[in-house]
Structure 1
Amino acid sequence: MFAYVTRRVLIAVPMLLVAMYLVHVGVSATVDPRSEFYVCLPRCQEGFDRITEQYNLDTNIFLRPFGYFSELARGNLGDSSSIGEPVWDTLKTRGWNTAMIAIPAFLIGAILSLLLSVYSARRQYSIGDYTFTGLSFIGFAMPSFVMALLLQHIFAVKLEQLFGIKPFNTGRKTGENFLQLARDVTLPAVSLAILGIAADSRFGRASMLETLNQDYIRTARAKGLKEGKVVWKHALRNALIPLVTLWALGFSALLGGSVVTESIFSWPGIGQVFLRALGDADLDLLMAIVMFGGVLTVTFNLIADVLYGVLDPRIRLG
C-alpha cells in the first residue's frame, strides 16, 4: 500500500506544477492589472511603471510563472489590490467561510446520492425508482443559480422566520451562535448539494445495478445470505468505485459552484471575492484562488486514487 501511495504522490506533484504553470500563463494572458492606467497615460506613467515592475509584466508571458514560483517558495502570495490585505489572509478567512458551506454540501450530497443509488437499484422500475429518476433529471438540468434563487425565495422570503438569513452576532452564547450559523449555511449548502445528488445518484444507480448482476452476487444469494448483507457488504464496495471518482471531482468543483451561490446568498467566501478580484484585475488574488482550486482538484484526485486501492486491492497490485 505504501508503494502504491508513493507512486500516486510522485505522479500528482509534477501534475500540480504543470497545472500551476498553465494557470499562471492563462491568467496573465487574460488579466492586465494596468488596465486602469491606460486611459490616463502619460500623466500616470509612474503608477503604470510601478505595476509593470511589481508583476513582471515586461517579462515574456511564458517566463513570468517562474518569478511567481520563486516568491511562492518563500511563502509570499503577494498583496490583494482589491481587498487591501495580504492574499494569504484573504484566503484563510474566505476559504474557511467557503468550507462552512462546501463541507456540509459535500456530506449531504454524498450520503443522499449513496442512499438513493442503493434504493433505486434494489427497486428497479418501481414507482419510487421512476420518481427519483424524474427528480434527478430535473435537478441535473436546472442551473445552480435557478435552484439557489428558488430556495432563497421559498425559504428566506416566504418562510423567513424559519430559514431567514440574519447577520451573525458574535456576542451571543456559543450554542446560540452554532444554531444561527447552522441556519445561515443550510440554504447555500443545500443549493450546492442538489446538482451533485442528481448526477451522482444516476451514476451510482447504474454502478449498483451492474454489480448486483455479477456472478458472485448471485452466488451469495444462492447460499442464502440476507439481501441486506448482500447489498451493503458485498455489492456496495465494488459499486462505490465510480462514485469515489465523482465525489473527488465534485468536492473540488464546489469551489466553482460557490461563485454563483455565494453571490446570490451574499456569503463572504472565496467565490464572492473571486468575482471582485476578476472585476478589479487583482492578479495576485486571482492567481491564488485559481491555484487553490487546482490544488484541491489534484489533492482529491490523489485521495480518490488511494481509495481505489482500499476498495479494490487489484488496482493497488496492478
Structure 2
Amino acid sequence: MAESNFIDYVKIFCRSGHGGAGSAHLRREKFVPKGGPDGGDGGCGGDVIMQGNDQMWTLLHLKYNKHALASNGQPGGKQRSTGANGTSVVLQVPLGTVAKDDETGEVIGEILRNGEQLVLKRGGRGGLGNWNFRTATRQTPRFAQPGEEGQEGWVTLELKLLADVGLVGFPNAGKSTLLASLSAARPKVADYPFTTLQPNLGIVHYRDDYSFVMADIPGIIEGAHEGRGLGIQFLRHIERNSILLFLIPVTSGDINAEYRTLLRELELYNPELLEKKRVVAITKLDLIDAELKREIEETLDLDAPYGFISAIKGDGLMPLRDELWKALHNS
C-alpha cells in the first residue's frame, strides 16, 4: 500500500432524500362525475448508508468525494399509486470504520463485519395521499400530507485498523523490520526515527497453515496522547488490536523505564488499552553478546511475557509467534 494512498480520516457532507408528497387527486371516470379520493402516498427519500467491505483497507476513495446526496421520493399519483422511493447512496468502507456526527462528536456507529450496514442519514417518509383521510363524514378530502424532509450534515469517518496484533514502540524500535521478517508486507525500513508514517498490515503465517494479522503502527513518543509527534493520529488504530506487542531495543538505556513510558502514553490516551493482553519483544539481539544478554535479563521487571529477538537474523521469531498465538487463543 503506497504511503500517499493510506487515508484513515475523511469528512463527508451527507444529505438524505426528502419524502414525496401525497396526492390529493379525486377520481374522475365516465359516468362517475363525483368519484371519491384516490390520491396515492408519496415515496420515501433515499438514505445515506455506510457498508462494510472486507476488500478495502483505506478511505482513499472517499477523500475526493465529499458529498453523498440521496435522491428524493416521488409524489403519489392517481388511482392510489405510490410514488417511487428515492435512490439511497451506499458508501463502501473498510472494516473498523467509525462514523461520528461532525458537529456534536457523537458516535453514530461502527462497521465491524463484511456487508454490515449503518444508516448515516435516514430519508424522509413519504406523505399520505387523500385516500387515507376519507371518513364517513368526510368522503372527499381535498388535501394530502407533504413528505418529510430528509436529514443533512457533515459526518466524520475514522478508520481504526482491525488486526490481531499491534506493534507498539518508540520510533526506530524495529517494528517495520519485524513486520517485514514475519510477513510478506514490505514497509519502509531505515535507520532513522519516523520511518513509518502510516500503519502497515501483514499476514503472519503460523504452524499448520494458521495465520494472524499484525499491524505496524507509527512510533509513539512521550506526549503522543496530546498530539506530539504523530500523536493521536495513529494511536486510535491500537484500540482495535487484540494483542499489543511492545518492541523495545536491547540498546535502550533502561528497558523497564521505556516500557512504563509506553504504557503511560497508552493509558493517558485511553485507559482501556491497558486491559489488553501484552507481550514484550526486546529487539536487536544481534547487537549484544550472550553475557550482556544475561546481565540485561537479570534487571528486567516487566508485567508481561517477554523474549529477545533479532528480526534481521531471525533469532527468537518462532518462540515469539508461539507466545502471540498463545495469547490470542487464551491457551
Indicate the structure with greater helix content: 1
Higher relative contact order (CA 8 A, sep 6+): 1
TM > 0.5 fold call? no
What TM-score bracket applies, with the shorter chain setting the length? under 0.3
Indicate the structure with greater strand content: 2
Structure with the greater alpha carbon radius of gyration: 2
